[in-house]
Structure 1
Amino acid sequence: MRALVVDHASPGHLTLADVPDPRPAGNEALVRVEAFSLNSGEIHTATRPGTPDGSLLGWDAAGVVVRAASDGSGPAEGERVVTVGHTGWAELRAVPATLLGTAPKGADPGALGTLPVAGLSALHALRRMGPLLGRRVMVTGASGGVGRYAVQLAARAGAHVVAVSRASGQAAALRTLGASEVHPEPAAVRKPVAAVLDNVGGPHLVDAFAALGAGGTLVSVGRSSGADAVLPPDALLGDGGRHDRSIRTFFLFGDPAPDFSAELTWLAHEVAEGRLDPGISWRGPWTRHSEAVEALLGGQLHGKAVLDVE
């Protein structure tokens, strides 16, 4: 089969190459991939000099089951699915039933391919905050993949969403997605918030933590700034209504091994029915992968980049 593999001599540090077909285990379905999305972390890994040539990267993909799992678990042959797993950007992937969600047959595979890492991360990070109804919830990096889904899901849960995005042209779009306020940085938020989903890290995390009210929680999901988060000496004081605040780390894949099948299925149907906007800002055939990588690294995209497998 063909796959995108790391090649530091090629544009975007990726190239199409022939690799061995996957051999599904008994609990794995064989999926023919139709589309996948790129995550910035994967692209930064691909461009890192220490990543060996020939490495397979990529978590997100959507396609059709061509061989059901032999143990009877998971979807049947012919089912359209959305998948998550570190099995690469390739024509075929073997995926356990726990990492597969089913989707309506007419669903756009490109839209489904935006869901796994971004949609699941937003969903699970928001759940760590407890009930959201009527609470002020800040989302930093709100115009990115995780941020866009977080804004929509928090608004659906009844939160007053405070979106933070340095992309000045995204304010109207974020309000359409459900944001009640849009600010260029956390320091511009004047009223305390009950919770923060932080995708940026660095000084953004420091200022977002300062915006928390008593009992508030900040969930650190991403570190797109690449900068250190240096808290001033008084940041952890509990006076003046600042008591019982916390910072929580986040990792989507933990122990025991997660079962995302029900959540991926729910997210897939929400996207297919138009109740969640996938936020595709770049799309093309996977032969144009270098263009997508360049746009991602250049900070030109707000949302997701999707490659269709031909």
Structure 2
Amino acid sequence: MIRALVADPTIALTMRLTMVPEPVPRQGQVVIEVHHASLNHGDLNDARSGRIPPGGVLGSDIAGVVVRAATDGTGPREGVRVVALAQGAFAERVAVDAASVATVPASVDLSVAAALPVAGLAPLRTLRACGSLLGKRVLVTGASGGVGSFAIQLAAAAGAHVIASVGSVERGAGPREAGADEVVVGLKGIDTPVDVVLDNVGGPQLVQAWSLLAPGGSLQSIGWTSGEPAVFAPYATVGPQKALSSYLTTGDAGSDLQTLVHLVETRVLTVRIGWRGSWDRFAEATEAMRQRRVNGKAVLDVATPGSMRTAQYSDETA
């Protein structure tokens, strides 16, 4: 048996640490000993909404070491440091499709790699879908979080003029450091149409962002942290052609994860860790995220109890 963080709708936290059976890998899967896991807003929603059934293991983002290679010879061998996108990732050991695993060089800390899968794949793939960004105006909403930070850096590296939208003046420092050309609170002060929107907020702000799109523009809906409905006025979507696209991380992730790891290794991409601590203190991390007190990613240390660190708030980057 191993420890895991599972959904439990009968308690206020909607999740708890408990014992679950050891993973049994299928063909084409490796078993990873998890050293670090990254907590996402989606994990909190999964625990509350019932999308993960009671007793189901939560989580998607992990980094650690392969302890059992795939029997078909695919993927990394035993002892290799890796990052992975995996269903039911918050456990001491996890069976993962080899096609959704990337290797991590010694120069990249595993705690940093753990922050990459969900928050890095969304902007990487949606920005890629928008074509060339050189000289384009890109608006990123919810820009002070982990997804927003990656989106700003990737868009800026592609030559875009990046506008970061945050919830308060105090949350503007991180986006500026990530490379945003402009930082606004809400959408105030944006008086020139934008070509691309990466929206993490949803609700009324998504509707307003749609109205800011230039003809031919693209709005990529990659999150919905507001939890509020988006209500469009009659005929709001009738006019010059522009697109609103939904996004969900699906399919094999290994190749894109390897790209993200390379961007971290070459210092094109910086990972901001705003909360880090033992997964025994997951309640602290979830509460901080729900109260919007984490600037960047929240990383849980899963490894052995002797190696776990005290939870801390920081501006740690790598």
Q: Write out aligned runs for 1:124-203 (5 A).
A: 124-203=125-204
Gaps of 5+ in 1: none
TM-score, normalising length from structure 2?
A: 0.90
| Residues 1:107 and 2:108 are matched in the alignment | yes
**Paired position in structure 2 for 1:249:** 246
Q: Write out aligned runs for 1:1-310 (5 A).
A: 1-8=2-9, 12-48=13-49, 52-238=53-239, 243-253=240-250, 258-309=251-302, 310=304
**Structure 1 position 106, deviation (Å):** 4.2
2:13 is paired with a residue whose SS is: helix
CA distance in 2, matches of 1:29, 1:166: 41
**Structure 1 position 35, deviation (Å):** 0.1
**Structure 1 position 47, deviation (Å):** 3.4
CA distance in 2, matches of 1:216, 1:162: 15
CA distance in 2, matches of 1:49, 1:29: 28
CA distance in 2, matches of 1:193, 1:49: 37
Gaps of 5+ in 2: 305-318
Runs of 4 or more, structure 1, over 3 Å off, are 7-11, 47-53
CA distance in 1, matches of 2:22, 2:165: 43
TM-score, normalising length from structure 1?
A: 0.92
> Structure 1, residues 178-217: CA drift from partner, whole Å, max 9, x if none?
1101111224311111111111111111111111111111
RMSD: 1.7
> Structure 1, residues 42-73: CA drift from partner, whole Å, max 9, x if none?
11222347864422110110001111111111
2:234 is paired with a residue whose SS is: coil
CA distance in 2, matches of 1:141, 1:266: 24
**Contact 2:195-2:213 within 8 A present in 1 as well:** yes
Tell which deviates more after alignment, 49-58 or 39-48. 49-58
**Contact 1:143-1:167 within 8 A present in 2 as well:** no
**Contact 1:79-1:105 within 8 A present in 2 as well:** no
> How many residue pairs end up in the alignment?
302
**Structure 1 position 3, deviation (Å):** 0.9
- In structure 2, the CA distance between the partners of 1:32 and 1:50, relative to structure 1 (3 Å rule), is closer
Letter in 2 for 1:101: A
**Paired position in structure 1 for 2:313:** none
1:186 is paired with a residue whose SS is: coil
